[in-house]
């Protein structure tokens, strides 16, 4: 049995074990003690959490045996996972401890050589579009754990030019167009809002017992976009505006041909007017018509503030 096949089988063999000893591997695979030790080192290099105890045949404990075995995946599924892995390279921060380079090392250790060569070749002939994350969000792991364990945090948050403190419970984490966003339930206002994760400067867990069940918060998040809280909008744009829309848009928006131009329609929550205003500013002079008037006024006000600022430079 080749080493790659043996390592793959070892992962399957150890998947449901809490501990094992060197003799088990020697007998099962008919290998020498030195080969078994090298195989254990390879398992550690690909991330299997092993620590050893003294003894003639060496007892090994597995800290975490929740392993997804490569042998359970088809060749096509391995390709899909590999290209999903490549998309992580555009993220400066993720909720996971493991770096993509470590995952690639696992692929090189456990996959047959022919399959590795196919992956390298496919990487040359397939190009993936990636949106690079330029900002670091340092608390993603804590946010995910806080969601799962229903924790309340005191969030120190940079809002424009000031620092604010928010007592809140995290509900959902999402990545859109180069930024990480978190949906939170604020304790003081009893409302849902969305914040940018890279603006979080510190997180402190609150020692209190009044957190809400996650299922309840998810239900509240589903009703966040209720009709009575929504504002519909439509903007008519030219060909340049259509190109801007195609590069970045959101699920709440759609575009269709309108005479010789294009009509972008959508809706936004009452708390998201500033967000939608900043988004529409990108269209600049490609905008031909805006509705409703309150959104037009918001855009005009924001543009005027820019003009005032530039005039003072």
Burial profile 208-242: b = 16 or more Cβ within 10 angstroms, e = fewer: eeebbebeebeebeeeeeeeeeeeebebbbeeebb
d(CA 274, CA 197): 17
**3-state SS class at 29:** helix
Q: What integer pLDDT is reported at residue 230 of this predicted model?
A: 86
pTM metric for this prediction: 0.60
> How many residues are recorded in the chain?
313
**Which residue ranges in the chain fall short of pLDDT 70?**
47, 53-58, 63-73, 97-106, 108-110, 129-133, 177, 225, 227-228
pLDDT in tens, 298-308: 999 999 998 88
- For the chain, domains (ranges, CATH) are 3-62 (1.10.10.10), 73-125 (no CATH), 140-222 (2.30.30.520), 227-311 (3.30.70)
Q: Could you tell me whether strands 153-159 and 200-205 are parallel, antiparallel, or unpaired per DSSP bridges? A: antiparallel
Residue partners of 99: CB distance under 8 A and separation at least 6: none
Angle 11-17-20 (CA atoms, 0-180°, nearest 5)? Answer: 90
Q: Which three-class secondary structure state does DSSP give residue 14?
A: helix
Residue 268 neighbours by CB distance under 10 Å: 22
202: Cβ–Cβ under 8 A, 6 or more apart, which residues?
A: 155, 156
pLDDT in tens, 203-257: 999 988 889 999 999 998 888 767 667 899 999 999 999 999 988 888 789 999 9
Q: At what angle do helices 33-45 and 100-110 cross, to 10 degrees?
A: 150
């Amino acid at each position: 049995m080749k080493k790659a096949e043996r390592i793959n089988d070892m992962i399957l063999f150890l998947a449901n074990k809490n501990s094992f000893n060197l003799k088990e591997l020697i007998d099962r695979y008919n290998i020498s003690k030195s080969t078994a030790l090298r195989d254990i080192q390879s398992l550690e290099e690909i991330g299997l959490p092993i620590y050893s105890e003294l003894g003639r045949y060496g007892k090994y404990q597995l800290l975490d045996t929740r392993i997804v075995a490569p042998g359970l995946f088809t060749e096509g599924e391995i390709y899909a996972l590999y290209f999903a892995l490549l998309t992580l390279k555009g993220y400066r921060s993720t909720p996971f401890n493991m770096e993509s380079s470590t995952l690639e090392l696992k692929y090189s250790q456990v996959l047959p050589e022919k399959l590795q060569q196919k992956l390298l070749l496919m990487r040359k002939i397939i190009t993936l579009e990636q949106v690079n994350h330029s900002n670091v969000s340092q608390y993603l792991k804590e946010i995910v754990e806080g969601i799962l364990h229903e924790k309340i945090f005191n969030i120190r948050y940079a809002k424009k030019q000031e620092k604010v403190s928010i007592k809140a419970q995290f509900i959902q984490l999402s990545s859109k167009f180069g930024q990480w966003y978190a949906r939170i339930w604020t304790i003081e206002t009893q409302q849902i809002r969305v914040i940018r994760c890279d603006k979080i400067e510190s997180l402190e867990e609150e020692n209190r017992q009044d957190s809400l069940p996650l299922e309840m918060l998810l239900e509240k998040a589903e009703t966040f976009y209720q009709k009575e809280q929504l504002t519909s909008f439509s903007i008519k744009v030219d060909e340049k505006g259509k190109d801007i829309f195609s590069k970045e848009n959101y699920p709440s928006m759609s575009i269709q041909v309108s005479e010789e131009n294009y009509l972008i329609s959508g809706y936004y929550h009452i708390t998201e007017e500033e967000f939608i205003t900043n988004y529409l500013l990108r269209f600049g002079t490609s905008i031909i018509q805006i509705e409703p008037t309150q959104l037009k006024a918001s855009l005009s006000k924001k543009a005027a503030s820019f003009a005032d600022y530039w005039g003072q430079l």
